[in-house]
Amino acid sequence: MPGDVSRILILGGTREARELAGRLDGDGRFQVITSLAGRTTGPNPIAGEVRVGGFGGVEGLRDFIAAERIALIVDATHPFAAQISANAAHAGVRTGIPCLRLERPPWDEQKGDNWTHMADIEAAARAIPEGARALVTVGRQEVAPFFARRDIHVLARMIEPPSHGVPGNAEVLLARPPFSFEQERAVLEEKRIDVLVTKNSGGGATYAKIEAARALGLPVLMIARPGKAEAVTLASIEELLEHLEAQLG
Ligand code: NAP
């Protein structure tokens, strides 16, 4: 695609997407449109153009790409956002527009960690021992299976309140990353947490909870990433920019 990259669609909802928009928008060769699902109110400011809300499946995304004369799609969505990544990959194939994925590597278990690997959210919700106090950090959209467990205590941390009721044996902690090691250690200690439940999101903004659990010798239920549609995948913004430069010649 030498010379013809001008309008770039970034599928966002992550810190990396926001940073990438800033990097590309400052480069005179590109016009950037970042797309957000609209799950959080008042998202952090993003450089360039921003649109909010679903496209209406693959067909809607394909129409958007054509109408906006998009030359490149960058899927910089969260590693657990599988549907939009599948839609992006399919829309790329159908329109002939390249689709790159920007995806941070998963966290690896380190010495001192005590992880149990979980296939999905439901498995993690089932695995919490009866009577345990669990810090659940899976986000408000997927907290329901934990709230359904009435034999445990759930401390559910999320950015915005859940849309459904919070049972009496659960409490919600509203907070937006990044979190420091000291903050995470304090939460685990003050709330007398027995087990941490987390998605393997990767990245630095939410890693301190893993370090704090390690320091306190707490077990972690680590939920594996979902399988994603195939795409050329770059692990960092720098790698993606290098790839782009190479393509531009
Ligand atoms: P998902 O299950 O993959 O997507 C569901 C639907 O939401 C998509 O089919 C699409 O609707 C719409 N959508 C998702 N991302 C979009 C975007 N960037 N722009 C426009 N529409 C989008 O996604 P999810 O897991 O609900 O996550 C939603 C958003 O939150 C993602 O953008 C993701 O980056 C961010 N996020 C997710 C997580 C997580 O753990 N899942 C964590 C942090 C941030 P249409 O089919 O109508 O186009």
Q: What is the pLDDT of residues 122-134, one digit of tens each?
A: 999 999 999 999 9
pLDDT (mean) for 141-162: 97
CA of 105 from ligand 1 middle (Å) equals 19
pLDDT of residue 248: 81
pLDDT digits (tens, 9 = 90+) for 31-74: 999 999 999 888 889 999 999 999 999 999 999 999 999 999 99
Strand partners, 170: 154
Q: Evaluate if pTM is beyond 0.75.
A: yes
User: Is the Cβ atom of 55 under 6 angstroms away from ligand 1?
Assistant: yes
pLDDT digits (tens, 9 = 90+) for 180-197: 999 999 999 999 999 999
User: Is the Cβ atom of 86 under 6 angstroms away from ligand 1?
Assistant: no
A 10 A CB-CB count for 79 gives 20
Asked if the structure places residue 110 within a domain, the reply is: no
Are 134 and 94 in the same domain? no
Strand partners, 221: 116, 197
For residue 218, what are the domain limits?
115-223
Are 125 and 219 in the same domain? yes
Q: Report the CATH number at residue 68.
A: 3.40.50.720
pLDDT of residue 247: 86
Are 92 and 136 in the same domain? no
Grouping H, G, I as helix, E, B as strand and the rest as coil, residue 99 is: strand
Residues 6+ apart with CB under 8 A from 131: 151, 152
For 88-123, b where at least 16 C-beta lie within 10 A, e where not — what string? bbbbbeebebbbbbbbbeebeeeeebebeebeebee
Q: Is the dihedral of CA 51, 225, 243, 94 positive or negative?
A: negative
pLDDT of residue 130: 98
Contact in structure between 193 and 129 (CB atoms under 8 Å): no
Are 75 and 144 in the same domain? no
Question: Looking at the 3D structure of the chain, how many domains does it have?
Answer: 2
Are 44 and 72 in the same domain? yes
User: Is the Cβ atom of 139 under 6 angstroms away from ligand 1?
Assistant: yes
| Average pLDDT in the chain | 95
| Six token digits for residue 201 | 């999101």
Grouping H, G, I as helix, E, B as strand and the rest as coil, residue 105 is: coil
Confidence bin at 3 (pLDDT 50/70/90): very low
